[in-house]
Structure 1
């Protein structure tokens, strides 16, 4: 049964933030001022950065200080995470989805940064990877929730979604990324992440490194013992050095694990 699915509008503050990020002469003060003008967003950002994942608890008293410590990429990602979550129903059924999104975004963004690759596309891909599930829930919650709970894997889930709604959450997430003006690397990774996670074969798209980081983040979060095997499969397809990739992965994961352990 196909139903009409509505995508949430791109929040105005995030549109302005995206415009700022594209400026070659961007400065930290511009980002701080924009976020501070949106009181609800500023409050959410300040609440988010107290997480041990960011290591800033007790060190920041303002958005400007947070931007100074974290830099524009991570603080902008926090803003996008906040804007994304606020665009959907605030219900317990979606809580685990957003927590996974935060961790996946951090892993992908910091891995890209460690590899001297463009990190914004990677971080936002991690944040938006499962947002299509929130789209389906917000449009057809009573029908979708049992499906979401019963599917054992995302591979099984997208097949049921296609049979039921005529579209799956990966495609919906990619369309939301497109409507919000996110980079091609983000869109491609979100659209193909389920297939890549299950087959470890990269699609013939641009910015394939984002797809690589997506499936490696998924492996770190769900089956870390398989990391080296997955790296050996996907890295050559994107012409990425396996040794450097593994070193960066472990370094980033260890830092995040240490932060959580200290908390």
Structure 2
């Protein structure tokens, strides 16, 4: 049974009427995304033009190449140019990665390790998606990075948000977002979905961001594109916490088993996947 009003529509409706949300700074959509969108809307869009738009930003293009050359994409021979990347991976994958990396560059780092953790979760999400074959790796990467961007925006908006974040991470019974709602009358899932909508991300990405802490998300008839994103990111976050040794929250206890069940993964299969990915990342870091 689907809710009468979906998550992104609720967020949009609320943003139009809630002065509190109106005061949360939503970063503008980067100009490069607008330029790429305009090219894609042409009758005969040029892959070379899109590649050249990305290549003009040296920092952005370097970050894209670093991402596609990571273990998550399993490319045998490292790519050396954006033109190579768009030829091998396609325009859609390139644009998805540019969007994800532009987000990281557009939002200030709210706390130590925030973007480091987010990038690791995004990279692991891409690797899990590639392994399971249920979602394009670049889409999994985008969601892994965008999923918690609302935390950075709430950190900027509320001076006491660090305390809220601390308490929400240690809440064993209620949803993470329930603690935020209680303190600030909004939460990072709502704010993150507003940013995603503002940046013209696909509707299923907006909905997945809005729903990713919902304790009942796997019990409702949501689209596979939404549930695949959410479940893969839950697994990636768990692997990252095991890898880093920082198990600072109870999200796995709340949603982990439901995510495994949805993806038809046994505990043993997940443990083997976790070990394999941690070994790959350790080998990459040692290289």
TM-score range, shorter chain: 0.7 to 0.9
1:110–1:252 Cα contact (<8 Å) kept: no
The match for 1:262 is: 283
What's 1:130 paired with? 148
Contact 1:85–1:98 (Cα < 8 Å) also in 2: no
Work out whether residues 13 and 38 of structure 1, in 8 Å CA contact, stay in contact via their aligned partners in 2: no
Q: For each residue in 1:94-136, what CA deviation from the matched residue of structure 2 results, as whole angstroms up to 9, or x when unmatched?
A: 2344224423541465368x24x66765543332111111111
Q: Does the 8 Å CA contact 1:44/1:82 hold for their aligned counterparts?
A: yes
User: Which of residues 223, 228, 235 is equivalent to 1:212?
Assistant: 228
Residue 22 of structure 1, CA deviation = 6.4
Is the 2:146–2:192 Cα contact (8 Å) retained in structure 1?
yes
Distance 1:199 1:144 in 2: 25
Against the structure 1 CA distance between its residues 105 and 71, is the aligned structure 2 distance closer, same or farther, given a 3 Å change threshold? Answer: farther
Partner residue in 2 for 1:234: 262
Q: Corresponding residue for 1:139?
A: 157
Tell me if structure 2 keeps the 8 A contact 1:170–1:193. Answer: yes
Deviates more, 1:226-235 or 1:173-182: 226-235
SS at match of 2:151: helix
Q: Structure 1 pair 74/48, CA: closer, same or farther in 2 (3 Å)?
A: same
**8 Å Cα contact 1:55/1:259 also seen in 2:** no
Cα displacement (A) at 1:162: 1.0
Aligned position for 2:198: 179
CA contact (8 A) 1:88 1:138 kept: no
Preserved CA contact (<8 Å) 1:101 1:127: yes
Deviation at 1:187, TM superposition (A): 0.9
Structure 1 equivalent of residue 104 of structure 2:
85
Query: Hey, what's the Cα distance between the residues in 1 that align with 2:220 and 2:282?
Result: 37
Higher helix share: 1
2:79, 2:237 → 1: CA distance?
29
CA distance change for structure 1 residues 105 and 76 in 2, over 3 Å: closer, same or farther?
farther
Query: CA distance change for structure 1 residues 101 and 83 in 2, over 3 Å: closer, same or farther?
Result: farther
Where does residue 98 of structure 1 map in the other structure?
Answer: 118
Q: TM-score, normalised by structure 2?
A: 0.68
* TM value normalised by structure 1: 0.73
Deviates more, 1:61-70 or 1:248-257: 248-257
User: Residues 79 and 249 (structure 1 numbering): CA distance in 2 closer, same or farther, change over 3 Å?
Assistant: farther
Q: Structure 1: where are the runs of 5+ without partners? A: 236-241
Partner of 1:66: 85
More divergent stretch after superposition (166-175 vs 91-100):
91-100
Aligned residues: 250
Q: Relative to 1, partners in 2 of residues 1:162 and 1:212: Cα closer, same or farther, differing over 3 Å? A: same
**Corresponding residue of 2:166:** 149
In structure 2, stretches of 5+ residues that fail to align are 1-19, 243-251
Alpha-carbon spacing, 1:14–1:258, altered in 2? closer, same or farther (3 Å): farther
For residues 167-224 of structure 1, give each alpha carbon's deviation from its aligned partner in whole angstroms, at most 9, with x where no partner exists. 10011111111111111110111111111xx34524455x333223422431354279
